[in-house]
A and B are shown apart, each in its own frame.
Chain A
Amino acid sequence: MTIPTSSIDQVIPGEGAMAQPEAATPTKAKRQRFRFLANAKATTGLVIMGIYLLFAVIGPWVAPYDPNARSNDLVAPPSGAHWLGTTHLGQDVLSQLLVGTRGVMVVGLAAGIAATIVSVVVGVSAGYLGGGWDDTLSALSNVFLVIPALPLIIIVASTFENAGSSIVAVTIGLTAWAWGARVLRAQTLSLRKRDYVEAARASGESTWRVIFFEILPNLSAIIASGFVGTVIFAVSTEITLAFIGIGGISNWNWGEILFWAQSQQALSQGAWWWFVPAGLAIAFLGTALSLINFGIDEFVSPRLRSAGKTKIKTASGHTVRMRVGFTPVLANTAAPRTHAVPLPINLNGATPVLRSSGKEGAQ
C-alpha cells in the first residue's frame, strides 16, 4: 500500500507543465469580474438606468424652462421652442419630464432600499432564529401581506398635509417588505439546515457571523431581485399616487404630468405629446429594471452563467439554443481534430531509454 515518495517528488515538478501559462491569468480574472456586463440584458438595463440616474441628477439644471412657468403657447404641439410641446397652461412638457425624473428615482430607490432592509432583517431573523421570533415575525409579515398596500398608502399620504416624496418613500418602504421577507425566511430555513451552516454552528461561531458569512451571501440573489422588484413597485405606486392626485403638488413627477393630461382630456384634444413621453419614460424605466433583474438571475445561476453564449450554430446550419437533452453538434465529420502522430520508423527499432529507471528500484 505504499506509494513511493520519490516518485511523487519527481512527478510534482512535472505538474508545472500541466499548469496553465501564468500570463493568461490576469486577463481571465478581468473577464470574470466584468462578466455581469457581458450579459446583453444586464448591460441594456444598466445603460437605460444610468441615463435615468443622470437626468435625476442634472434634470432640473438642463430643463429649458421652469416646469411651473406659464406661457402663451397653450397645448402647442412639439416645436423648436418646446421640444415636447406644452400643456393647457403653456408649461413646457420636456421640462416637467426632466424635473420629475429626480422625484421618481429618489422615491423608487429610497423605498426599495428601505423595504429591502426591513425584509432582510425580518426574513432572515425569522428563518434563522426560529421559535418565538419566527412566530412573531411571520405573523407580522403575514399581516403586512394581507394589508392592501395601495389604499393604505393613499390614506397615509393623504393624512399628511402636502406630503413630500420622503413620506411617500417611507410609506411604500414600510408596506412593501412583507413578500420579500417571506421568501427570505423560506430560503433561510432551508439554508440553516445545510451542512456547512450546521458545521459553523457546531464549531461555536457566533450567530452574527453565521448569518453574515454563511447565510447572507447565499441570499444575495434573492435580495437583489427583491430590491429590483420593490423599486418597480415603488415607482409605479408613486406615479399612481400622483396620477390620482395624492402626493405633493409642488413636486413634479411623471404621475403629475399624467394627472394633468388626464384631467384636461389631452387624449380627446389630440395632445399626444402631453402623455406619451411620460408613459414611455415609465415603461422604459420598468423595462430597464426588469432587464437588470433578468441579468441578475442569469448571473447568479451558475448553469446559465457558465454558458455565457447560449445560441450556437450547428453543423446542419441552424442556430439553436443550447438546452438539456439536445447537445448541439458543431461539426459532424469523422476527421480527427487533434492529430496524434505516428512516430518515425527508425524509432521503432530503438530500445526505449527509460527516463526514470531508478524509480522501479525504489519500489
Chain B
Amino acid sequence: MNEPVLEIRNLNVDYGLGDQAVHAVRDVNLTLHRGEVLGLAGESGSGKSTLAYGLTRLLAPPGVITGGEVIYHPEKADPYDVLALSDNNLRKFRWAETAIVFQGAMNSLNPVHKISTQLNDVLQAHEPKMSAHSRNARCREMLKLVGISADRMDAYPHQLSGGMRQRVMIGMALILQPQVVIMDEPTTALDVVMQRQILGQLIELRERLGFSVIFITHDLSLLVEFSNRIAIMYGGRIVEEAPAAALYRDSLHPYSAGLLGSFPALRGPRRELSGIPGSPPDLKGMPSGCSFHPRCPKAFDPCSEHIPVLGRPDTTDGSTRTVACHLHPAQVPAGVSSPGER
C-alpha cells in the first residue's frame, strides 16, 4: 500500500494560450499508491476531470499542460515521466499501463459492432502476437469478471442495458490489466442500485487484480464508503487530502466540511443539512489568496491575501493527511518532501 504507482507533481493545466488562458488545474500534487482507491471530489468546474485528462494527456484543444510531472512507476521497471513520453510511447503506455473510463462511457460503444468485436479489437491492437483463440478466451474471462455471462459476447450494444454496457466498458478498460484505472464519474448515468452493484464489483476486481483507481465524482457520500483516500478539489487546486474515514470524521478544510454537510448521514444524530453559499469561482478571475475565501464561513485576515500551502496540519493524525487552509498552517509543505515516504 505504501509504494506509489503514480505521482503527480505540480501539474498545471491551462485552457487556451497567452493571457486569455484559463488556469483550470494549478500546482496539483497527488500520489496514488499501489492497490489504492483514490477519490477525487469537488463541485462542477473544480478541475477534477481536467486533472484526470491532463495527467493522461487526453485533453482536447485548446487544453495544454503548462508544467509539472506525472511519474509512473511500472511494476518491474524504472519510473518515468508520462508527460515526457513520445507520441509512440504514449500510445503504448495508454490502456496497457493506464486505462480510463469516461463520463457516460456506455455511449462510447459502437452500435454497429458486437461486444466481442470491440473487445477483441483492443487486444488485436495492443497484443498483435496473441492468437485468436486466446484473445477470445480473454474476452470471455473479462466479461465474466465484470458479471456478464459469456453468451452475451455476440450481443450488440443496444441489446444490453445501461448498466451492462457500463460494465462492458469497465471490462474493456481492464482487459490489458493496467496498473492504474481512472474513472471519471462512471456511474453518473445509472440508478443507485446499479451504481452500488458496479462499485462493489470494482472493489472486488481491484482486490483480485491489484490495480489502483482514481475515482472522480461529485458524490462524496459514495467516496466515503468505498475509497481509501479522498482528495477534495476547489478552483483547480487540491484543498484537502486525507484517508476517507478521517475526512468523514473531521474534515479540516471548511470547503470539505461544507461538502460533507450537504448530504445526510444514515446513522448518528439528526443534524441540519447545509449547503455551501455562493457559487463556484470563475477560473478566469480567481479571487486573491485562498480561492475559497469569499464563500468561506471561517475566513479571516490572511485568507484574502495569501494562497495557503497544501501541507500536513498540526493535528494528531497530521502525518497521514494534507490540507491547504490558513486555519491549519502547514508543518511541511507537501511539495518539498516526497509524499511517497509515508
* Chain B residues whose C-beta falls within 8 Å of the C-beta of A30 in the assembled complex: none
In the complex, which residues of chain A have a beta carbon less than 8 angstroms from the beta carbon of B275?
3
* A203 proximal to B (CB < 8 A): no
Is the CB of A130 closer than 8 A to any CB of chain B?
A: no
CB closest chain-A residue, reference B298? A354
Pairs A–B under 8 Å by Cβ, sample size 7: A1-B273, A14-B294, A20-B282, A327-B59, A342-B309, A353-B300, A363-B274
B83: Cβ under 8 A from any A Cβ: yes
Most buried by B among A3, A14, A324: A14
Are A330 and B278 within 8 A (Cβ)? no
**With known contacts A14-B294, A353-B301, A347–B329 Cβ distance under 8 A:** yes
Chain A residue with Cβ nearest B54:
A327
B58 touches A347 (CB 8 A): no
Chain B interface residue count, Cβ-Cβ cutoff 8 angstroms: 64
Least CB separation from A324: chain B residue: B60
Complex contacts, A11 vs chain B, CB 8 Å: 277-278, 294-295
Partner of B295, one of A14, A328, A330: A14
A330 and B278 alpha carbons, distance in the complex (Å): 34
Bitwise, A194-234 to B at CB < 8 A (1) or not (0) is: 00000000000000000000000000000000000000000
A330 to B14, CA, bound (A): 10
In the complex, A329 has a CB within 8 A of chain B: yes
Residues of chain B contacted by A308 (CB below 8 angstroms): 16-17, 62
Q: Which A1-19 residues have a C-beta within 8 angstroms of B? A: 1-4, 7-8, 10-12, 14-15, 17-19
Say yes or no: is B147 at the interface (Cβ < 8 Å to chain A).
no
Q: Judge if A338 is at the interface, Cβ distance under 8 Å.
A: yes
A341: which of B62, B64, B287, B306 is its contact (CB, 8 Å)?
B306
**Are the C-beta atoms of B287 and A17 separated by less than 8 Å?**
yes
Q: Is the CB of B299 within 8 A of A334?
A: no
Q: Does B9 touch A at the CB level, under 8 Å?
A: yes
Residues in B with CB closer than 8 Å to A2 are 272, 274
Chain A interface residue count, CB cutoff 8 Å, equals 57
Known A8-B278, A337-B67; contact A348-B329, beta-carbon cutoff 8 A: yes
- Is B65 at the interface (CB under 8 A from chain A)? yes
The reply to whether the CB of A193 lies closer than 8 angstroms to some CB of chain B is: no
Closest 4 CB pairs of A and B: A14-B294, A322-B61, A11-B278, A334-B9
The residue of chain B having its C-beta at the shortest distance from the C-beta of A304 within the complex is B61
Q: Does A310 have its Cβ within 8 Å of any Cβ on chain B? A: yes
Inter-chain contacts of A339 with B (CB < 8 A): 307
Contact (Cβ within 8 A) A18 B327: no
Q: Which of A7, A322, A334 contacts B277 (CB 8 A)?
A: A7
Which chain A residues in 269-307 approach chain B with CB under 8 Å?
A: 303, 306-307
B274-316 Cβ-contact flags toward A at 8 Å (1 or 0): 1101110110111110000011011111101011111100000
A287: shortest Cβ distance to chain B, in Å?
27
Across the interface, name the chain B residue whose C-beta is closest to A305. B62
* SS class, residues of chain B in contact with chain A: loop
A332 proximal to B (CB < 8 A)? yes
CA distance A341 to B272 in the complex (A): 36
Are B330 and A323 touching (Cβ within 8 A)?
A: no
Chain A residues positioned under 8 Å from B66 (CB to CB): 330-331, 337
- With a cutoff of 8 Å between Cβ atoms, the chain B residues found around residue A347 in the complex are 302, 326, 329
Query: Could you say which of A19, A309, A326 has the most chain B C-beta atoms within 10 Å of its C-beta?
Result: A326
B294/A340 in contact, CB under 8 A: no
Q: Within the complex, what minimum Cβ distance (angstroms) separates B135 from chain A? A: 24
- CA of A8 to CA of B275 in the docked complex: distance in angstroms? 11
With a cutoff of 8 Å between Cβ atoms, the chain A residues found around residue B64 in the complex are 312, 322, 327-330
> Would you call B114 an interface residue if the criterion is a C-beta within 8 Å of the partner chain's C-beta atoms?
no
Is the pair A3, B274 in contact by a Cβ cutoff of 8 Å?
yes
Q: How far is the CA of A338 from the CA of B28 in the complex (A)?
A: 10
Say if the beta carbon of B335 comes within 8 Å of chain A.
yes
* CB proximity of A321 to chain B, nearest CB, Å: 9
Q: Would you give the shortest CB distance from A207 to chain B, in whole angstroms?
A: 34
Q: A1-B273, A356-B299 are in contact. Are A328 and B65 (CB under 8 A)?
A: yes
B186 at the interface (CB under 8 A from A): no
Chain A residues whose CB sits within 8 angstroms of the CB of B57 once the complex forms: 325-327, 329
**Known A330-B67, A340-B307, A342-B309; contact A316-B10, beta-carbon cutoff 8 A:** no
Give Cα A329 to B87, complex, Å.
Answer: 12
A1 nearest CB across to chain B (Å): 5
CB distance from A109 to the nearest CB of B (A): 35
Chain B: CB-nearest residue to A306: B62
Give A11 to B16 CA distance when docked, in angstroms: 30
Question: How far is A307 from B61 in the complex, measured between Cα atoms in Å?
Answer: 6
Complex: chain B residue closest to A320, CB-CB: B87
- A343–B333 Cα distance when bound, in Å, is 11
Cβ of A132 under 8 Å from chain B: no
- Assess whether B10 is in contact with A336, with CB atoms less than 8 Å apart: yes
Is A333 engaged at the interface, CB distance under 8 Å to the other chain?
Answer: yes
Given contacts A18-B282, A329-B84, 13 further A-B contacts (CB under 8 A): A1-B272, A4-B274, A7-B277, A11-B294, A12-B278, A14-B287, A14-B294, A20-B285, A307-B61, A331-B66, A338-B23, A338-B307, A363-B274
With contact pairs A328-B64, A355-B301 given, residues A363 and B27 touching in the complex (Cβ less than 8 Å): no
Closest CB-CB distance, B195 to chain A, in whole Å? 23
CA distance A334 to B26 in the complex (A): 12
CA gap between A340 and B303 in the complex, in Å: 12
Assess the A17–B288 pair: CB atoms within 8 A. yes
Of the candidates B27, B324, B327, the one whose C-beta lies within 8 Å of that of A337 is B27
